[in-house]
Amino acid sequence: MKVSVEQEGKNIVHVELEVEAERASRAYDTTCRELSQHVEIPGFRKGKAPKNVVEKRFGKEIIKKEALDRLVPELLQQAVADKELDIITNPEIEECKFELGEPLKLKAKFEVRPEVKLGDYSTIKVEVPQAKVPDDAMEAALDKLATQKSTLQPVDKPAVEMNDHILLDFECMVDGKLTEGGKAEGLTLEIKEGNFIPGFCEKMVGHKAGDEFEVDVTFPDDYRNPKLASKDATFKVNLKEIRAKVIPSIDDELAKAVGHENLDQLKADITKQMEEEVETENQSRVQKAVVDAVVKSAQVEIPDTMVEREYKLLMQQIRSFVEQNGQSWDEYEKTEELKALDKTKHTEASQRVLHSLVLGAVVRAEKIDVSQDEIASNFLEFAQRNYIPQDKFKEMAQNEYFMRQLMEEVLTGKVVDFLVSKADVKYVEETPENTQGLENVEAHAEKTKEKAAKKEAVAKS
């Protein structure tokens, strides 16, 4: 087989193949035999029909197409290996000439990985703002836990005010008729601007417990039920109670309510969690600073096609998230929120491609790889971290996409750890000018709640 390669631009190659007529004919004959084995041909047992009968049954062009479908991937794979091409896309067939008795001629286009010139990543020096636990972090975490355990209690007050909670029954009438699903009993509603239906909560203000009254509102144009959108409605309201949020004291009883023996044990657990989160945050900052420095010291021309593919992937992830939350993508595309995201995602795509190319170059330069033991260890860690039951392990392990993603994650972790081990890292004082601040610490209470919910869900599954 003759192979020639022609470079085009930054990372496009055209590969031309000329395959011996004998090899192409063998592929054609093999296809004939295999077709005869899988199809009933009158007068012949499976696999016994002669070639001319198979050709009459299917047609030479169909057989040639089947032969090419089997032969071309093999030929291209051989050409890529022989010419040591670092391809990053599937081939685009530009030309194919296949005539029986003549050499097969094929031309395909690939994108190859652009060349990366690495800087001296063994002498990287970085200054990293050191995260510390804020002085008021314990107070904030305890306050958040107490707020989560708050309850609504009836209160004796003369009239409803904004930010109160109320217990009510209602009937919703449109055009003088009760709407479908427009009746509720024992509904608890927080009285704040824009809640429920625009204008409804504001009209509760001034009424007292026991009042029965009517309020007129108009459903918004984009209301979730299109049958009610823009419609005028009358609500018949029975205001049963005015309620207030009661936040429990921060004491041993609160600690027991969140699964601890006493307040001291709760504080110790929060302190430990904060310290772990600060350590994780500092590790993350070091990794980011080092990788950014390594990327900055490298030289590479990023092809527009790679950035565009990454951008489309990011936008597809956004679309999936939007649709999973029950929103219409067509409607979401018209929002200002998406327009703002669209601008940032192009920049993010470019940065992701750049980082991937540079880290990939380090992996190849240092011959870093991932063993099966490392994949297995990280697989187990992922499953435990996400509370995945053991009977789901086999299904996960057979998921090719998931396992490939896991391998890439492990490999990225190894190369980043390698670069950090080579870097000269100096911590400096954290200031508003050099950091966004530590966001993780005050989220302790929410994380504790999420973990408990996950464990409970797994236990029930």
- Please tell me the class of the 2-111 domain: alpha beta
pLDDT in tens, 73-103: 999 999 999 998 889 889 999 999 999 999 9
- Beta strands 424-429 and 92-97 are unpaired
pLDDT in tens, 183-219: 999 999 999 998 999 999 999 999 999 999 999 999 9
The per-residue pLDDT for 439 is 45
Rounded-to-integer distance, Cα 131 and Cα 128, Å: 9
User: Domain segments of the chain: what residues?
Assistant: 2-111, 151-246, 253-301+368-460
The answer on pLDDT for 303 being more than 60 is: yes
Residue owning tokens 């490392």: 374
Q: What is the pLDDT of residues 373-406, one digit of tens each?
A: 999 999 998 888 888 888 888 888 888 888 888 9
Q: pLDDT higher for 222 or 177? A: 177
Provide the pLDDT for residue 46: 76
State how far Cα 257 lies from the chain centre.
34
Asked whether the CA dihedral 71, 74, 78, 80 is positive or negative, the reply is positive
Per the prediction, the chain carries an average pLDDT of: 89
Which pLDDT tens digit goes with each residue over 258-284? 999 999 999 999 999 999 999 999 999
Q: What is the pLDDT of residue 435?
A: 61
CB of 220 within 8 A of CB of 232?
A: no
- Could you tell me which residues are beta bridge partners of residue 166? 189, 242
Q: Where do runs of H (alpha helix) occur along 108-173?
A: 137-148
Q: For the domain covering 151-246, report its CATH number.
A: 3.10.50.40
107 — pLDDT class (breaks 50, 70, 90): very high
* Residue 33, amino acid: R
The mean pLDDT value for 219-225 works out to 88
Token output for 233: 């409605």
* pLDDT, position 5: 92
Q: For the residues 308-337, what does the mean pLDDT come to?
A: 89
Q: At which residue do the structure tokens 């449109």 appear?
A: 174
For residue range 438-455, list pLDDT tens digits in order: 444 444 434 433 444 443
Buried b / exposed e along 79-106 (16+ C-beta atoms within 10 A): bbeeeebebbeebeeeeeebeeeebbbb
- Residue 216: other Cβ atoms inside 10 A: 12
Q: Please tell me the distance from the alpha carbon of residue 212 to that of residue 223, in angstroms, as a whole number.
A: 26
What does DSSP say about strands 424-429 and 125-130: parallel, antiparallel, or unpaired?
Answer: parallel
Tokens of 104: 């097969």
Task: Give 3-state DSSP helix, strand, coil % of the chain, rounded to 5.
Answer: 50, 20, 30
Helices marked H in 298-371: 304-324, 329-332, 336-366
Exposure string for 372-385, b = 16+ CB within 10 A, e = fewer: eeebeebbeeebee
Q: Which of 36-40, 114-118, 232-236, 407-411 has the lowest mean pLDDT?
A: 36-40
Q: Is the pLDDT of residue 304 over 50?
A: yes
The reported pLDDT for the residue numbered 37 is 83
| d(C-alpha 15, C-alpha 94), whole Å | 10
The string over 134-164, giving b where at least 16 C-beta atoms fall within 10 Å of a residue's C-beta and e elsewhere, is eeebbeebbebbbebeeebeeeeeeebeeeb
Confidence of residue 237 (pLDDT cuts 50, 70, 90): very high
Q: Where are the beta strands (DSSP E) in 20-132?
A: 92-97, 104-111, 125-130
Token pair belonging to 296: 């900055």
Q: What is the DSSP letter of 299?
A: B
- How many helices (H) and strands (E) in the chain? 13, 11
Q: What is the mean pLDDT of residues 250-254?
A: 95
Amino acid at 226: P
- Res 458: pLDDT: 36
Q: Could you give the C-alpha distances from 299 to 117, 167, 201, 354, in angstroms and in order?
A: 5, 65, 59, 10
Closest by CA position to 234, among listed 253, 256, 214: 214
**pLDDT score, position 99:** 92
Is the pLDDT assigned to residue 459 strictly greater than 50?
no
Give me the percent of the chain exceeding a pLDDT of 90: 67
